[in-house]
A and B are shown apart, each in its own frame.
Chain A
Amino acid sequence: MTPVAVMVGANRIVPAAGIIHPLGNAELSPEEEKALRRRIVEKALQALQTEVTQPTVFGADEPTPPHRAE
């Protein structure tokens, strides 16, 4: 969904861990999930402190969970 964010002009964009659980992952244990959430939030705080001049995606280093069949 980050390309959409870039297109509509959001300036500071942090990729999250998937549409249905942006800040979590049900496949992880609660501790791992919380650690994941914290990493993404910390990246968001970093983005808030970073000078940008245009829509900027702050690199994804979280593996996106495999696509679930509906």
Chain B
Amino acid sequence: METLRVVCYLNQFFGQLGGEDKAGIGPQVFVGAVGAARAVQQVLGTDGTVVATVVCGDNYVAEHADTAVAELLNHIAAQQPALVIAGPAFLAGRYGVACGAICAAVQEKLGVPAITGMHAENPGVELYRRQVYIVQTDAEASHMLEEVRRLVALALKLARQETLDSPAVEGYFPRGLTHNTVADRNAAQRATAMLLDKLAGRTFASEVPLPQFSQVPPPPPVREVQRATVALVTDGGLVPHGNPDGIEALAATRYGAYSIHGRQCLDPVQYDNVHRGYDTTYVKQDPHRLVPVDVVRELEKEGAIGKLHETIYSTTGVATTLANSQRMGREIAAQLRAAGVEGVILTST
């Protein structure tokens, strides 16, 4: 088997340039394996050669974001790798995010397999696990060699385009991909067996992981509501007549942003409702039963709030996946924040 050309990416600490004092350092390229990349070379053995180690300060990447990733991508591309291994980043947040971003860029822009590793709570996991194979590691580098073994084993499979086993077996974070397989027993048999295990107090594993809802720390209260801009958002399916943005009736992936600039109320003739999860007769008759523009305008005039934000946001909240809900929520929040909105009233059906 041909020896693979591998490029490793490390931060300033694992690249042995320094600690936080060197976190602002820009991209450095070293011939061969330096710092923690030596562990990668050791494990690779004759299967691959680390032709270069690219090192960069965590703050440099965090502060320059896209331009830093582009610079690093150029350095990596110049080495013509067949495989890129970033990190592992353990629990170092800036490092983990940088590793994720670089792997994603290498895959997308260079078409080269890339892989990294980090601890489950590293912010890089949630941001990149769907795009990038991320091997699970400890919080600290105490078992680094063993983790690098797992990382390299998976990396070689990727580079050789071999079929991967499930995340649990290979040790990477689930990417949200579904594969159909044929089970040895039918669902009724498996469900009964699981129930019997549960009743007998034996351990059992759910085939479908139950959703974990994250705790969102409550933002502090709006300080001076009489001066604040308040926005209205809904998941009740309000759309302008004709649903110009094609908001789906179920399992929405999109939301709409609709101007109410200069309007004192919502004219039922101009609006429609695509939600398929409840009887929309009443909110179609009077959209204010869902999005209270009339009342909030009055409160605005009376000075109870500073301003009603001129855009309302709407989607349909039925069979919407958690992932899409979170994404839409983040996107809407970013737009509201950029517009100086301080509080949101979200009507949910």
Contact = CB atoms under 8 A, between A and B. Distances in A.
Interface of A: 1, 5, 7-9, 11-12, 16, 19-24, 26, 33-34, 37-38, 40-42, 44-45, 48-54, 70
A37 B288 contact: yes
26 contacts: A1-B349, A5-B348, A7-B213, A8-B213, A11-B216, A16-B347, A19-B278, A20-B278, A20-B282, A23-B292, A23-B347, A24-B282, A24-B288, A26-B282, A26-B285, A34-B288, A38-B299, A40-B292, A41-B292, A41-B345, A42-B299, A45-B304, A45-B305, A48-B345, A53-B218, A54-B218
Nearest to B346: A10
A22 B218 contact: no
Contacts of B225: 45, 48-49
The 3 A-B pairs with the shortest beta carbon distances in the complex, nearest first, are A24-B289, A11-B218, A21-B289
Contacts of B294: 34, 37
B309 to A, nearest CB: 13
B296 interface: yes
Contact of A44 (B283, B286, B345): B345
B186 interface: no
Given A22-B349, A48-B221, 16 more contacts: A5-B348, A7-B213, A9-B216, A16-B347, A19-B349, A20-B278, A21-B290, A24-B286, A38-B298, A38-B299, A45-B225, A45-B299, A45-B343, A48-B225, A54-B215, A54-B218
Interface in B206-242: 213-216, 218-222, 225, 230, 236
B299 A41 contact: yes
Given A11-B216, A20-B349, A22-B236, A48 B222 contact: yes
B227 to A, nearest CB: 12
B2 to A, nearest CB: 51
Contacts of B278: 19-20
Residue among B216, B278, B279, B348 with max Cβ neighbours from chain A (10 Å): B348
Contacts, number: 93
A45 to B, nearest CB: 6
B193 interface: no
Contacts of A54: 215, 218
Interface residues of B, number: 37
A17 B280 CA distance: 14
B281 A20 contact: yes
Given A9-B213, A11-B218, A45-B305, A23 B299 contact: no
B249 to A, nearest CB: 16
Contacts of A34: 288, 294-295
A16 B348 CA distance: 9
A52 B213 contact: no
Contacts of B230: 45, 48
A23 B218 contact: no
Nearest to A4: B348
Interface in B277-320: 278-283, 285-286, 288-292, 294-296, 298-299, 304-305
A51 B283 contact: no
B279 A37 contact: no
B214 A9 contact: yes
Contact of A22 (B285, B298, B305, B348): B348
A33 B295 CA distance: 11
Contacts of A26: 282, 285
B78 to A, nearest CB: 46
Contact of B295 (A41, A51, A70): A41
A38 B220 CA distance: 24
